[in-house]
Structure 1
């Protein structure tokens, strides 16, 4: 028979959200955000900070990823293709644009099917709350999004590339 304490224990258990932060321009801001998240909450786990799609895919190996936080717009627009690549690798993470929400960001969000956006000029504590509120958000990947290569200019990332990354990760 389950007692009152069993129920309250389950309510008090925290479900961690795993995130990867991607930025190729605002790396210092991404680091600040990562440090802030790590210092103020144990319900969000920052897997790492990536500066390109290869690093995102490397960090995502053998990890469940809930959010891909894109800090600012990406200078290398091809890196937005990692959203589709993660989806194809059964990483059902939700992309979130953490940026100054101007017409450029809104256009990029529409183009790459990023439905969650948060203005980075607002307090980081509000962003943490935003992520927690959207932990169970069901992202609907747009299969009509542009097929942007994510790793190499003329090669699409595939199983062989991921196997190579897995070997590298094991040897580190």
Structure 2
């Protein structure tokens, strides 16, 4: 979910935090607290990736992050640990709940993997800094005092291919001007 593997029995409010924020059902502060509350439910790496990209991941119960009735030895470890309410699927208990760890192939979730935990404080700091620099550069290249890339009149050739090539040169020129300032 949103860049990482989590326990399937994570509370619905935490699972739906981002969609609830987008729909206006929760505030940004609530969203931030829900994102932070997801951490104990994350599957934890048990070993490093092998040469082919496969990785062993532990159930959060095995990592000592949550308690679960499906794994009775985890119960009573402390009141500070969240208690999972497992939702058994129609096909039975999922593999990660039956075992201590599972192996994930590189194809499983690679498209959505993120180095940083989506939405947490560190992610927000990096994301918004990068976003600000990208938006700032977009404003620079669109400016009438710079490259004016919004106006196709600054590229007097016809055809999408010719326009694209000239646009690439304009952006490269803007990059060079930005770095030599």
Please indicate the TM-score interval, normalised by the length of the shorter structure: under 0.3
TM-score, normalising length: structure 2: 0.22
**Structure with greater proportional strand content:** 1
